[in-house]
Structure 1
Amino acid sequence: MKNWIFLLLASCMSLAQAGLFNDDELLPVEEAFPFSAQIEGDHIRAVWQVSDGYYLYKSKIHFTTDSTGILLGTPELPAGKVKNDEFFGEIETYRHQVVVNIPLTRATGSADTLELKVNSQGCADIGVCYPPQTQIASLLLTNAIPPNPASKQPAALKSLNDLGMSLGFGGQDELLPADEAFQPDLLISDANTLTANWLIADGYYLYRHKFEFSLDDGNGVTLLPATFPEGKHKTDEIFGDIEAYYHKVSATLPLQRTSREQTPITLTLKYQGCADRGVCYPPMSRTFELILPALAADAELAVVSPAETLNDVDRFAQALSKGSLLSVVIAALGFGLLLAFTACMYPMIPILSSIIVGQGEKATVARSLLLSLIYVEALAITFAVIGAIVGSFSGAIGIQALFQKPIFLIPFSVLFVALALSMFGFFALQLPAGLQSRLSNISNRQRGGTFIGVFIMGSLSALIIGPCGGPILIAALGYAASAGPVNGAIAMFALGNGMGLPLLLVGASGGKLLPKAGDWMNVVKAVAGVILLAVAISFLSRMPHIFSPMLIMLMWAVLLIISGIFMGALEPLPIESTGWRKFWKGTGLVILLYGTAVLAGGLSGAHDVTNPLHGSKLLAASSPAGGVSMTAVGGTHRAAKSFTRIKTVDDLHNAIAAANTAGKPVMLDFYADWCTYCIQYEQYVFPVPSVQQALSDYVLLQADVTAVDADDKALMKNVGVVLPPAILFFDRHGKEQRAFRVVGNMKAPAFADHVNRASGR
């Protein structure tokens, strides 16, 4: 009677206090304490999802039923949090989620529907308590709980029991059903943490290494690695030395969330256990549906969505590492074919074409195809050697980058200029007479002289042109580093052959399409010469500290203007001109005008031959309004006001630590003068206002690895970068957001969107 008086007083005072608050400050009772119940095997699972700022009294929870032939056992109430209540003294309360299991027994002829009457009472932290609540849950029992509990054992467990009986473990020693031997439960500890509990019957244990957790419907929630207490070490007949848990075990499951709202999730627990008598149960699973409470306003959200956990490089490397060797070869061939159509691979086509054109009347289909095959295999073999070296030493980065140094690029460019002048007929490239006579005798017996030259050209092309192969090439090198020298060499060899497939088509058609003699042959050689000069200029453009961007633009302008003039752009057309003659003159005029635009752009600050007026002072509108100014530092195009240069690993760590202290994220850009895509980022991505806006909260770092010296190699190895371009993002705690790493080219709008997603916007 005394308790009822206290309860009445508490309710009356609570209702009186409620008048001091607005209606919208208190949730309706059904929203503050949403309740659900379901039948699970031989018990009822009752669940309350308690809203933030509210709690339930443990002592006020009761279950009864008037359904015919149904008996309820003692509810298994979890331990609550002890609270000093102003009305009831020290009591236990529940927050967030309450799960109660109620044993259930059915008699023969019992009702098919259970009317479960549930009593409860709760309060709000503001000091207002709700009146006691009574809820009725109608639960269908048909085919859910057979009267004979033994009949609900699955066939696998029945077989285990039969085995136990045959071994003499009858009567009281029968194996328990799995749900009785191992009773799982899942509770919400807080908005970012779940706790999985198992009650383990005496004489039974669970394997630690057999626990698995998966989100079937995460709704933006990511499950992080679970933590377990130390188990008991034992020698298992099946698995050897293992850790096992007896009596009970709890696993902590941390969560990452992308939303602060209440979030429903579906989580599956998988586990396996045995009885000490030597009988093991098959793997078991249990699925739970929960509603995570809302996050606090100051809680940090995850910015990596479950669908985007790997960047392009990691995704390709993972695809290689998971398959058999045959699947690796097939995948590498396919990705090599994709790589063949990237812009930095295009110079290989004119190089090979000029070789075929140089054969003159000897350029039959068979010979052209053979030369192409030698060129492609030289490229592939060079890649294979690189793959073997990387697979052997893991740190052999910068092999191709070494060939971007002036000591290699300048002689190679001079060679192309000499070949071009030879195509124009200024002189004939040939060996001294004595050596030529000797080699001629050898050549009569074998045709290796020409083939060796083509092989060398293919190998050099792989080293000089290959480094701008983007994420696919970098991922292949990453796979080689982890797969060992043999598999690494095979994968890189397949990648090189995939890159060379279009070149084989060029060779197969070269003998048919190219003229064999006459004036047209001279025209074709002249075109090949122009292409070789263009390739030479593109190599020189990789050394802006020696050949300034303006000088490179002037070289392009001279090449284009002279080519247009030679095509007759300034010559009058005869009255009886053919259609081809008019087309030739028109093409020359277009090239002449474009060359003039390149000349004007180069003299006024533009740096890109493919967009000759971008950045030109002639067009004020092309300057990055509202962005950073781009200035030439050491002959290269730089975002001087935005990026802080770093050189060493210590520089990186210090810069990230300083940014973390200031509460700022970090973006690290790897740049090199010889990196085509790096220059495109400098000119067309970083200065764009939308990109600048997206990067406004970031500390911007840039590592210039043009020299590929010891510090550059150490820095790239420290963060797992093989070659530039590579752009890395670090969060406010200094941890890299690996899923947002950018390798290869990306346009400004896509990059701005990428940065916004990395920062959680």
Structure 2
Amino acid sequence: MSERTANLMAAMLRLLCAVLLTVAVTGAHADEDYLPPQEAFKFSASMKDAASVEVRFAIAKGYYMYRERFGFAAEGARLGTPQIPPGKVKFDETFQKDVETYRDAVTVTLPVDASGAFTLKVASQGCADKGLCYAPMESVAKLDTRLVPASASAGLAGASTGEMGRIEAALKSGKLLVIVPLFLVLGLGLAFTPCVLPMVPILSSIIVGEGTGIGRKRAFILSLAYALGMALVYTALGIAAGLVGEGLAAALQQPVFLAGFAVLMVAFALAMFDVYQLQMPAFIQNRLLQASGKQAGGKLLGVFAMGAISALIVGPCVAAPLAGALIYISQTRDVLVGGGALFAMAVGMSIPLLLVGISAGTLLPRAGAWMVEVKRFFGVLMLAMALWMVSPLLSVKMQMLGWALLAGGYGAFLLWSRKAGWLAKACGLVFALLGVLQMTGVATGATDPLAPLAKLRGTEVRHVEFRRVKSLAELEAALAQAQGKVVMFDFYADWCVSCKEMERFTFTDARVQAQFDQMVLLQADVTANNDDDKALLKRFRLFGPPGIIFFDKQGQEIPGGRVIGFQNAERFLQALERVNQI
């Protein structure tokens, strides 16, 4: 590794360290000086249900708050008697009397009567153990009773059990020593989901594109640059989504972005086929040469940028850990804890990518004709990625035709190539057969590329039929018409890979469909991400699909019943059996 390349990687690692050291710097500063009141007593408020507000204060270590100093007022709403928990009694030197105080955290439930948006004002006061007493402070929150379900739980409040409950408890603790390891492990689990796996062939193709001279160290450096780009942008995107409260990932799934990324994959594929040499324009290369003295630096920046683009386009689906972090940020505005959780999760998702980089640098052929064949294979893989990216924009028939042409064409090339050995010809035969199967599916009217012969076998799986809901008004009407049945409300989008995985592998299970027969099935297609879609997502504090909400026979959301992210048939069946017994 050259000195310039090492300097560039060191700069990237310094950026990573800066993110992680923010926590340490903040903690160190707290020991040297008094915290500002907004940091010593972090305020947040959210609708617990349509008739009550939950007010929370996260209290820094070495600080405490007074029970008797709480005061509540509202503009546009009437407030009931606040439910303030008892505090710990202590003799206060400042007031020269016994007072009730709180440390670490305090939560107050406040009854509210409002027909829509209102402004809540909370008065409070606290002190530091070192002797400083802060002036009374006022905290303000803008809330809306229409943005929560009518049940006694919404958002994370309703997920008191299961995975979402554990995530909520960890985030509310505010302890990064608990949060970071937890989200690191959760991110590692997410790395093997369909929303992250497509990054593996992208990174592998970048490594193969380096040629025969690449070693383990160089492969690891490229993987690290890619992973850093993905992790940093994933974290930034998550923080922005949490603060803004909108599905930014959904906006990035519009046709123009999907098509643009597909074109980029095709360009990489053609370079793998040696149609041309993919490189930056000369004037950019000259600038990079002047800045770093070597083209390798520009290569690393390009890989870093590809990791960033992949985080934006390839992995937009929402899973339980991501949903928990986004809701926490949106409710508390605590970017440090929420962002730390997101970054830890992104690092966990990156671990398999780093392993792929190391293994690729070790296992790839070093020289000879094999390297040409490997490059061609990854070129085909890039074409497959391009087709996969634009599949939400295509009909099933066009998707199957595309797979038939790609697999059949590559298979025919290998079979007719004079330079291909017996192993390559065997692979060519497999690809050719796959192409024939897809063409058979097109001819017989199959509806699933993964089951092209279903029509011929007469075993086509029965797909679940949902009643589509397009707005909050339609949802309320559908709930009123449920006629005493449990209601399942599914959020779906064409660009959501996990949604389609649930549709193909979970919803088609016979046991799951038997449970569906007892329910009313509603679905919101939020592919367009229009105002009605955003209103539905905001109502249930979701940042994107997949997400499933269950309502009881009275039309109230079932506490702890939400399903966020992909679940296989066995796990999802347990959730269905539980809600059907209510």
Query: If each structure's strand is expressed as a fraction of its own residues, which one has the higher value?
Result: 1
In structure 1, what is the equivalent of residue 561 of structure 2?
Answer: 740
| Partner residue of 1:588 out of 424, 428, 444 | 428
Q: Judge conservation of contact 1:391–1:486 (CA < 8 Å) in 2.
A: no
Equivalent pairs counted in the alignment come to 438
Find the residue that maps to 1:425 and give its secondary structure: coil
Q: 2:378 aligned with 1:492, yes or no?
A: no
Q: Judge conservation of contact 1:672–1:704 (CA < 8 Å) in 2.
A: yes
**CA shift digits 1:437-474 (9 cap, x unpaired):** 56555553574321221111101111112223532332
In structure 1, what is the equivalent of residue 384 of structure 2?
Answer: 534
Q: 2:335 aligned with 1:512, yes or no?
A: no
Q: Judge conservation of contact 1:386–1:399 (CA < 8 Å) in 2.
A: yes
Deviation at residue 230 of structure 1 after TM alignment: 13
Which whole-Å CA distance do the structure 2 matches of 1:722 and 1:558 have between them?
37
Give the 3 Å change call, closer, same or farther, for CA 240–755 of structure 1 in structure 2. Answer: closer
Which whole-Å CA distance do the structure 2 matches of 1:447 and 1:670 have between them?
44
In structure 1, what is the equivalent of residue 217 of structure 2?
Answer: 366
In structure 2, what is the equivalent of residue 649 of structure 1?
Answer: 472
Give the 3 Å change call, closer, same or farther, for CA 365–342 of structure 1 in structure 2. Answer: same
Give the 3 Å change call, closer, same or farther, for CA 494–663 of structure 1 in structure 2. Answer: same
> Tell me, which stretches of 5 or more residues in structure 1 are unaligned?
1-207, 210-226, 243-307, 574-579, 625-629, 631-638
Q: Judge conservation of contact 1:364–1:512 (CA < 8 Å) in 2.
A: yes
Q: Which amino acid aligns with 1:654?
A: A
Q: 2:456 aligned with 1:618, yes or no?
A: yes
Which whole-Å CA distance do the structure 1 matches of 2:488 and 2:406 have between them?
39
Which whole-Å CA distance do the structure 2 matches of 1:723 and 1:359 have between them?
37
Deviation at residue 425 of structure 1 after TM alignment: 1.7
Identify which of structures 1 and 2 has the higher relative contact order when contacts are C-alpha pairs closer than 8 Å and 6+ apart: 2
Percentage identity across paired residues of the two chains: 42
In structure 2, what is the equivalent of residue 275 of structure 1?
Answer: none
Deviation at residue 309 of structure 1 after TM alignment: 4.9
Which whole-Å CA distance do the structure 1 matches of 2:473 and 2:299 have between them?
51
Which whole-Å CA distance do the structure 1 matches of 2:546 and 2:444 have between them?
28
In structure 2, what is the equivalent of residue 553 of structure 1?
Answer: 400
Q: 2:227 aligned with 1:404, yes or no?
A: no
Q: Judge conservation of contact 2:512–2:569 (CA < 8 Å) in 1.
A: yes
Q: Judge conservation of contact 1:339–1:469 (CA < 8 Å) in 2.
A: no
Q: 2:441 aligned with 1:601, yes or no?
A: yes
Q: Judge conservation of contact 1:378–1:456 (CA < 8 Å) in 2.
A: yes
In structure 1, what is the equivalent of residue 514 of structure 2?
Answer: 693
Which whole-Å CA distance do the structure 2 matches of 1:446 and 1:431 have between them?
10
Q: Which amino acid aligns with 1:704?
A: D
In structure 2, what is the equivalent of residue 728 of structure 1?
Answer: 549
Find the residue that maps to 2:533 and give its secondary structure: helix
Q: Which amino acid aligns with 2:188?
A: L
Q: Which amino acid aligns with 1:525?
A: K
Query: If each structure's helix is expressed as a fraction of its own residues, which one has the higher value?
Result: 2
Q: Which amino acid aligns with 1:709?
A: N
Q: Which amino acid aligns with 1:655?
A: A
Find the residue that maps to 1:668 and give its secondary structure: strand
Q: Give the structure-2-normalised TM-score.
A: 0.69
Q: Which amino acid aligns with 1:423?
A: M
| Partner residue of 2:414 out of 540, 543, 567 | 567
Which whole-Å CA distance do the structure 2 matches of 1:685 and 1:537 have between them?
24
| Partner residue of 1:463 out of 312, 323, 326 | 312
Which whole-Å CA distance do the structure 2 matches of 1:684 and 1:590 have between them?
24
Q: Which amino acid aligns with 1:414?
A: V
| Partner residue of 1:355 out of 206, 211, 215 | 206
Which whole-Å CA distance do the structure 2 matches of 1:482 and 1:435 have between them?
43
- Over the aligned positions, Cα root-mean-square deviation in angstroms equals 3.2
Deviation at residue 325 of structure 1 after TM alignment: 1.1
Give the 3 Å change call, closer, same or farther, for CA 476–466 of structure 1 in structure 2. Answer: farther
Which whole-Å CA distance do the structure 1 matches of 2:567 and 2:282 have between them?
53
Q: Which amino acid aligns with 1:589?
A: L
Which whole-Å CA distance do the structure 2 matches of 1:324 and 1:331 have between them?
11
Deviation at residue 406 of structure 1 after TM alignment: 0.6
> Tell me, which stretches of 5 or more residues in structure 2 are unaligned?
1-66, 69-80, 91-96, 103-158
Deviation at residue 518 of structure 1 after TM alignment: 2.5
Which whole-Å CA distance do the structure 2 matches of 1:457 and 1:728 have between them?
35
Give the 3 Å change call, closer, same or farther, for CA 598–229 of structure 1 in structure 2. Answer: closer
Q: Judge conservation of contact 1:311–1:738 (CA < 8 Å) in 2.
A: no
Which whole-Å CA distance do the structure 2 matches of 1:230 and 1:312 have between them?
28
Which whole-Å CA distance do the structure 1 matches of 2:248 and 2:168 have between them?
20
In structure 2, what is the equivalent of residue 289 of structure 1?
Answer: none
Q: How does 1:385-396 map to 2 (within 5 A)?
A: 385-393=236-244, 395=245
Q: 2:329 aligned with 1:480, yes or no?
A: yes
In structure 1, what is the equivalent of residue 497 of structure 2?
Answer: 676
In structure 2, what is the equivalent of residue 335 of structure 1?
Answer: 186
Which whole-Å CA distance do the structure 1 matches of 2:506 and 2:361 have between them?
42
Larger Rg: 1
| Partner residue of 2:297 out of 406, 426, 448 | 448
Which whole-Å CA distance do the structure 2 matches of 1:499 and 1:609 have between them?
28
Deviation at residue 549 of structure 1 after TM alignment: 1.1
Give the 3 Å change call, closer, same or farther, for CA 609–317 of structure 1 in structure 2. Answer: farther
**CA shift digits 1:653-712 (9 cap, x unpaired):** 2222332xx222211010100112222333344455443332223222110001122221
Which whole-Å CA distance do the structure 1 matches of 2:379 and 2:574 have between them?
43
Q: Judge conservation of contact 1:352–1:503 (CA < 8 Å) in 2.
A: yes
Which whole-Å CA distance do the structure 1 matches of 2:209 and 2:229 have between them?
19
**CA shift digits 1:323-350 (9 cap, x unpaired):** 6112211111111111112233111111
